């Protein structure tokens, strides 16, 4: 990957991480005072006290939100082994769950850890599969960076608009 592309991918990855933290820790709130104070831990995978249909959606959302994480890791840390990438995903997911508990801004849940890691692995798998299918990693990287830039501008613009009207 060219140096310029690497820097752009790194910046996009950092912006993604900021958005990920905002979604997971701050639940898309613009004020920390608007957050519910909840401090719970669930160590039983896929166990829920309440209605199950809501949780099936939450599980899918957790997987999907971490797919870009795996893709960005492949872009930014191309020479890293799968195990290193997996440890990074698991570490970040664990850090977010611990922060939720410490800050009392959500439920720390083993299911979230499992689904987050699964999403990151899916992202790594998708990236590697596309590169193998098209035999042109540099071109694939360019397409991903351009697509991610467009998505980042649209999402960032939408968030700035929401900030302006609130």
- Residue 46 — left, alpha, or beta (φ > 0 → left; ψ -120 to 50 → alpha)? left
Asked if residue 93 lies in contact with residue 147, where contact means CB atoms within 8 angstroms, the answer is no
Tell me the two tokens of residue 90: 């698991």
Mean pLDDT for 23-52 is 72
Query: pLDDT band at 35, cuts 50/70/90?
Result: low
Cβ-based neighbours of 43, under 8 Å, separated by 6 or more: 110
pLDDT score of 69 more than 70: yes
For residue 73, what are the CA distances in angstroms to 9, 32, 81, 133? 10, 29, 10, 19
pLDDT score of 70 more than 90: yes
For residue 63, what are the CA distances in angstroms to 112, 138, 153, 161? 9, 27, 23, 27
Instruction: Give the pLDDT of residue 87.
Output: 98
Mean pLDDT for 10-17 is 95
pLDDT score of 85 more than 90: yes
Tell me the two tokens of residue 54: 């809501």
Instruction: Give the pLDDT of residue 128.
Output: 95
pLDDT score of 52 more than 70: no
């Amino acid at each position: 990957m060219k140096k310029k592309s690497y820097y752009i991918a790194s910046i996009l990855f950092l912006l993604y991480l900021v958005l990920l933290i905002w979604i997971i820790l701050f639940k898309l709130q613009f004020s920390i005072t608007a957050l519910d104070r909840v401090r719970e831990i669930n160590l039983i995978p896929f166990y829920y006290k309440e209605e199950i249909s809501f949780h099936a959606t939450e599980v899918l959302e957790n997987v999907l939100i971490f797919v870009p994480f795996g893709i960005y890791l492949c872009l930014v840390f191309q020479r890293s082994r799968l195990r290193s990438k997996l440890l990074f995903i698991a570490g970040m997911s664990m850090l977010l769950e611990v922060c939720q508990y410490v800050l009392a801004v959500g439920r720390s849940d083993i299911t979230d850890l499992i689904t987050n890691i699964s999403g990151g692995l899916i992202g790594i798998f998708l990236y590697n599969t596309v590169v193998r299918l098209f035999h042109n990693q540099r071109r694939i990287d360019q397409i991903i960076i351009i697509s991610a830039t467009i998505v980042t501008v649209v999402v960032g613009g939408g968030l700035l608009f929401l900030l302006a009207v609130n």
